[in-house]
């Protein structure tokens, strides 16, 4: 935590008093803290207290009323190593989830390039309400880190879940986060993601249901841990966030093959999460095939080049190659066979037999198998968390 720059966002909650303890704890660890607070937060704790503890003027408005000095939320977002919102009220969580930028805390959040940690604090019924839970799930899907509240006596004197996590626990979460952030520093990682489209004619194609979410989550996870990422993606509607990700868009399996073969020699690691079509039409017609031209179509398919197999043949001793296997039955056997045949160092197995896993889900359930025969199965998780599990396992294989 030494020399880390932390934005501490404080919102209108009775738990705002804990922010004073959190500032002290962060500064004792060597961090630099800039407080940004909402107007409602001032009703619970004085800016003077926070300014005295942090050693910096508190920011709560877009400009200083006395001299018109502008408080740039953009500069703040670029300055920080992390942003922590503690306490995070239901109102602020809702605004963050929906981009309602009506105060400097929210605009700072929307401009922040650094990881964001959110520590909710509210009455138990507010926390349990479907709208709050949906907003938290949405924020988590954006890549934010949710520091779950604890159970205990609340301001309403009811007992339940909604108490903001204690400052020492929040500091521990940050310390653990920063401890792993640079474990892939200077590593070059290529990731394939999404489906491929194999054209039949100008308006039709052979494809699959891959959304690309798993590959994009892996790209963000690797970049956040210090790697430079080359993301080769098929046609998806997703966007990248981290500046260390260089995206290459392709459409067909042939285009992905060429891009992967070109990039791989420079890479330390390749993670092949794309759902690449095994076959393509032997012939693509130049004009649209019309129903009235024929009552029956015969579509002849030819095999696409196997990206994983080709990379496995060219892999150097210092390189790691990770494949994916989506199966419907005999998952372990099929994945092990693919691991050996394609000279992989690890394979990520998921199966359509598991509800919530595979294509078009925000969740996945994976089993990781390495070339030494170690097998580790994980429960159903959000794909952002699955990406972290995969990267954690991958880190143990790096020589």
Residues 6+ apart with CB under 8 A from 155: 14, 123
Element (DSSP H or E) covering residue 73: helix 73-79
Contacts 24+ apart (CB under 8 A), 38-44: 38/10, 38/11, 38/12, 38/92, 38/103, 38/105, 39/12, 39/103, 40/11, 40/12, 40/89, 40/91, 41/10, 41/11, 41/12, 41/13, 41/16, 43/12, 44/12, 44/13, 44/14, 44/16, 44/17
Cα–Cα distance for residue pair 54/56, rounded to 1 Å: 5
Element (DSSP H or E) covering residue 392: helix 383-397
Cis check for the bond before 129: say yes or no (omega within 30 of 0): no
Question: Hey, which residues are catalytic here?
Answer: 208
Residues 6+ apart with CB under 8 A from 17: 44, 45
- Burial call 57-70: b when 16+ CB within 10 Å, e when fewer: ebbbeeeeeeeeee
Q: Phi and psi dihedrals of 67, rounded to 5?
A: -125, 0
CA 35, 38, 41, 43 dihedral sign is: positive
Q: Where are the alpha helices (DSSP H) in 147-238?
A: 167-180, 213-224
Residue 108 CB neighbour total at 10 angstroms: 27
Residues 6+ apart with CB under 8 A from 174: 1, 4, 6, 26, 82, 84, 117
Q: Phi and psi dihedrals of 270, rounded to 5?
A: -130, 130
């Amino acid at each position: 935590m030494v020399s880390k720059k932390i934005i501490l966002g404080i919102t209108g909650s009775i738990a705002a008093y804990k922010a004073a303890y959190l500032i002290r704890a962060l500064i004792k660890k060597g961090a630099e803290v800039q407080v940004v607070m909402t107007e409602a937060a001032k009703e619970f704790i004085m800016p003077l207290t926070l300014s005295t503890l942090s050693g910096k003027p508190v920011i709560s408005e877009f400009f200083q009323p006395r001299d018109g000095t502008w408080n740039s939320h953009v500069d703040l977002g670029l300055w920080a190593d992390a942003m922590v919102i503690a306490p995070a009220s239901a109102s602020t969580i809702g605004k963050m989830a929906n981009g309602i930028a009506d105060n400097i805390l929210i605009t700072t959040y929307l401009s922040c390039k650094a990881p964001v940690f959110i520590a909710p604090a509210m009455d138990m019924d507010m926390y349990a309400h479907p709208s709050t839970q949906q907003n938290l799930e949405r924020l988590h899907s954006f890549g934010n880190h949710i520091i779950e509240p604890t159970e205990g006596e609340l301001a309403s004197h009811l007992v339940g879940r909604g108490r903001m996590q204690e400052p020492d626990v929040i500091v521990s979460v940050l310390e653990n986060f920063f401890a792993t952030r640079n474990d892939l520093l200077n590593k070059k990682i290529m990731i394939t993601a999404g489906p491929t489209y194999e054209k039949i004619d100008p308006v039709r194609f052979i494809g699959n249901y891959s959304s690309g979410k798993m590959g994009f989550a892996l790209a963000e996870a690797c970049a956040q841990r210090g790697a430079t990422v080359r993301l080769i993606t098929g046609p998806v509607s997703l966007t990248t966030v981290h500046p260390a990700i260089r995206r290459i868009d392709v459409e067909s399996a042939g285009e992905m093959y060429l891009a992967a073969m070109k990039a791989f020699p420079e890479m330390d690691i390749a993670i092949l999460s794309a759902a690449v079509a095994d076959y393509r039409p032997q012939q693509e017609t130049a004009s649209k095939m019309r129903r009235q031209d024929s009552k029956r179509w015969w579509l002849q398919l030819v095999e696409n080049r196997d990206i994983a197999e080709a990379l496995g043949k060219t892999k150097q001793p210092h390189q790691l190659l990770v494949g994916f296997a989506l199966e419907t039955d005999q998952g372990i056997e099929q994945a092990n066979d693919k691991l050996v045949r394609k000279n992989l160092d690890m394979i990520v197995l998921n199966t359509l037999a598991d509800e919530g896993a595979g294509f078009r889900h925000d969740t996945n359930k994976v089993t990781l198998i390495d070339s030494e025969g170690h097998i580790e199965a994980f429960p159903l998780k959000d794909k952002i968390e699955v990406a972290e599990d995969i990267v954690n396992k991958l880190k143990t294989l790096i020589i």
